[in-house]
Structure 1
Amino acid sequence: MKILLTGVNGQVGWELRRTLATLGEVVAPTRAQLDLTDAVALRSFVHEVRPDLIVNPAAYTAVDKAEAEPELAHTINAIAPAVMAEAASQINAAMVHYSTDYVFDGSKPGAYLESDATNPLSVYGRTKLEGEQAIIAAGIPHLILRTSWVYGLRGGNFLLTMQRLFKERDSLNVVNDQFGAPTWSRMIAEASAQIIAQRPFPDNSGIYNLTSAGNISWHDFAQAILARTTLPEGKQVALGAIPAAQYPTAATRPVNSVLSGSKVQKTFGICMPDWEAALDRCIES
C-alpha cells in the first residue's frame, strides 16, 4: 500500500510516520514540500504520488487565533480536505482524516456518539466540521477519526505547557468546569495503524471517535501532570481551580468534550487506554 501522509511534523503526524511504516510505503512531505493552502499544487501532488490511501492529520489547530484568521483556518481545515477527497475519488484512493470534539457544543450531559447532532461554537470547530462534510460528500472510502485534548512530547500542547509553567511559577490557576479525555498522540497513531491494517474500506467507512477512556477537567489533568513532574529541590506549585468564565478566551470551548469509544471498539476491536495510564506511558517514554 502506498500512503500519502500530511502534517508529518505535527503531534499526530509525527507518530503516524512511524506506525504507518509497517503497512507500506509512506510518502510524507513537509509543509515546505506540500502547501495545503495551495489547492492547485495540492491536487497536483496527490495525482503525482497516486497513493492508495491519504492520511490527513494536518490542520489549523490554533483555536483562539482562528477567530482572527477564519479564512486561513477554512482553507486548511475545510478546503484542503475537500481537494484531497476530490483527488482521491479520481484515483480510486481512500482517506483517513482526523477531526475534533469541537464539532459539538458540549451541552450533552453524557458522552457524545458519532451520530449526535453537531453544533460547533468556534471557527476551528466549524471549519473542522466542514472538512468532515466535504470528505463524506466526495463519496470516497473514508474514516473520519474524531479525537480530543491531544497531547504529546513535541509541539505545543497542554502537557508541555504545564511542565514548563510548573518550573517557572509558584502558583497557577486552571479551568475546572470543562471536561474531556486527554489523548496521547502516540495512542492515536498506534490505534490508527491497527484500524488501517484491517482494510476497513469501504464496508466500514464513516465517523469514529478515538480518544482515551475516562474523563477529567483541565484542572484535574494539570494536577496529574504536576504529580508526575520533577521540580527543582524545594520548589512547590499551588494549583488553583477556576471556572472558565474567569479565564476568557477568543474561542468558546465545549463544556463537555467526552466522546464515546463504543463504536470503534465494536467495529475494529480498538479499546483505547484510560487517560491516566496513557499519561504514565507518555511521561515514562
Structure 2
Amino acid sequence: MKILVFGKDGQLGHAFQEELDARTSALLTKPVVQYVGRSECDLADEEVLSRLLNQFQPHFIINASAYTAVDKAETESDLAFAINARAPEIMAQYAAEHGVTLLHYSTDYVFDGEKYGFYLENDIRNPLGVYGKSKAAGEEAIARVFTDKTTGQYAILRTSWVYGEGGNFIRTILRLAKEREELKIISDQFGVPTSAQWLAQVSLNLALDEHARLRKFTSGIYHAVPTGETTWHGLACLAVQAALAAGATLRANPGTVKPILAVEYSLPAPRPMNSMMSTDKLNQVFAGRGDVSELQQLNQPWDVAVKGYVAQLAQDGLI
C-alpha cells in the first residue's frame, strides 16, 4: 500500500510521521509512505498537486496541511481558498476516481460559536471569518465530489485548538510566563485542546487495522477532540501549573494568569465563542468494532494530554 501525507512540516504532519513509523516498524510488509511539505508541493498550484497524485498513485491520502493563519486570511482570501478548498477538492476527485481513502482535517471555525452546548456534525455551518469560510468550502467540495460515487471513501475530521511539535498556544503561554509575572488570557471562549499526537492516533485507528491495512468506514464528517471542555484561560492556567510541577522556572503562576473577555482583546478575524464539539458519532464507530482500547483513547480527557505534553517539553528543556 502507498500512503501520501500532506503537511509534513506542520504539527499534525509531524505527529503522523511518528505514529506511522511506530505502527509499521514491526510489520513484515510495510506501506510505502511519502511525506510532502510546501517545498515538495505547493498546494496552491493545482497542476503540481495533480501531477504528484498521478505520479505517486496513493491508496491512502492524509491531508494534514492547511492555510491556518486566521488573521492573515482576512487579506489573503485567494490563497486561503486555494489551499483549504480547491486543493482538498482535487484530492477528493483523485480519491473518488481511483477508489482511494482520503482523510482531511477541518475546524471548529466552520461554526459561528453561538450554539449552547456541543456542536454535532450536521449542525449548520456559519463561519465568521475568511479562514472558517475557506475550511467550510473545503468540506463542501469533498462531499460534493463523492456524491453518488461508488468507489473511494473519505473522512473529514473536525478538530480544535491543536498543539504539538512547533509553535502553538501552550508554548506561547509558557514563553510569556517565563518573561512576565502576569498574563491576561481570554476566559469566555470555550473549546477543547487537542493533541496532534492524539489526533493522528485516533485518525489511524479509524482508517487502518493493526496490520496497516485500510478499513472500511462510512464516509462523512466526524468530530475528533478529547473529552471535556475549557477556555483559553483555563488552558493557560493548567499549562503554567503543569510546567511548575515539572520543575520549570517561571515568573508567572496560575494565580497571576488573569481572565479577560474576548472583547478586550481585539483581533482582525472574529473567533467563535463556543468551539465545543460532540464526538458521539466517532464513538459509535469505535464501539461498533468492540475495541476497548480505541474507545479509551478517543475518550481521553483533554487535561491529561496537556499535562503530559508540558511535562515532555520540560524534560526536553523547551520551557
Separation in structure 1 between the aligned mates of residue 221 and residue 215 of structure 2, nearest angstrom: 12
Which residues of 2 match residues 1-285 of structure 1 at below 5 A?
Answer: 1-21=1-21, 22=23, 24-139=31-146, 140-152=152-164, 154-198=165-209, 199-201=214-216, 203-230=217-244, 235-237=251-253, 238-269=256-287, 270=295, 271-285=298-312
Q: Partner of 1:207: helix, strand, or coil?
A: strand
TM-aligned CA deviation for residue 236 of structure 1: 3.6
Give structure 1 stretches of 5+ with no counterpart.
Answer: none
Separation in structure 1 between the aligned mates of residue 183 and residue 65 of structure 2, nearest angstrom: 31
**Higher alpha-carbon deviation: 20-29 or 31-40:** 20-29
Separation in structure 1 between the aligned mates of residue 40 and residue 251 of structure 2, nearest angstrom: 45
Separation in structure 2 between the aligned mates of residue 248 and residue 180 of structure 1, nearest angstrom: 19
Q: Deviations over 1:177-206 (max 9, x none)?
A: 0000111110001111111114443x4111
- Whether the 8 Å CA contact 1:15–1:189 is kept in 2: the answer is yes
TM-aligned CA deviation for residue 89 of structure 1: 2.6
- Whether the 8 Å CA contact 1:187–1:272 is kept in 2: the answer is no
Separation in structure 2 between the aligned mates of residue 215 and residue 30 of structure 1, nearest angstrom: 32
Q: Structure 1 residues 129, 200: closer, same or farther in 2, change over 3 A?
A: farther
**Higher alpha-carbon deviation: 18-27 or 270-279:** 18-27
Q: Partner of 2:36: helix, strand, or coil?
A: coil
TM-aligned CA deviation for residue 20 of structure 1: 2.7
Q: Deviations over 1:71-121 (max 9, x none)?
A: 111111011111111122332212100000111111110101101111111
Q: Deviations over 1:146-191 (max 9, x none)?
A: 0001112x22210110011101112111000000011111000111
TM-aligned CA deviation for residue 133 of structure 1: 1.0
Aligned residues: 283
TM-aligned CA deviation for residue 234 of structure 1: 7.9
Q: Partner of 1:228: helix, strand, or coil?
A: helix
TM-aligned CA deviation for residue 233 of structure 1: 5.5
TM-aligned CA deviation for residue 52 of structure 1: 0.4
Q: CA RMSD of the aligned region, Å?
A: 1.6
Give structure 2 stretches of 5+ with no counterpart.
Answer: 25-30, 147-151, 288-294, 313-319
TM-aligned CA deviation for residue 2 of structure 1: 1.2
Q: Structure 1 residues 168, 138: closer, same or farther in 2, change over 3 A?
A: same
TM-aligned CA deviation for residue 240 of structure 1: 1.1
List structure 1 runs of 4+ shifted beyond 6 angstroms. none
Q: Structure 1 residues 42, 232: closer, same or farther in 2, change over 3 A?
A: closer
Q: Partner of 1:114: helix, strand, or coil?
A: coil
Q: Structure 1 residues 234, 258: closer, same or farther in 2, change over 3 A?
A: closer
Q: Partner of 1:28: helix, strand, or coil?
A: strand
Q: Structure 1 residues 165, 232: closer, same or farther in 2, change over 3 A?
A: same
Separation in structure 2 between the aligned mates of residue 236 and residue 11 of structure 1, nearest angstrom: 26
TM-aligned CA deviation for residue 281 of structure 1: 2.0
TM-aligned CA deviation for residue 232 of structure 1: 6.8
Separation in structure 1 between the aligned mates of residue 10 and residue 248 of structure 2, nearest angstrom: 30
Q: Partner of 1:120: helix, strand, or coil?
A: coil
Separation in structure 2 between the aligned mates of residue 215 and residue 43 of structure 1, nearest angstrom: 39
Percent identity of paired positions between Structure 1 and Structure 2: 40
Q: Partner of 2:259: helix, strand, or coil?
A: strand
Q: Partner of 1:77: helix, strand, or coil?
A: helix
Separation in structure 2 between the aligned mates of residue 142 and residue 235 of structure 1, nearest angstrom: 47
- Whether the 8 Å CA contact 2:155–2:220 is kept in 1: the answer is yes
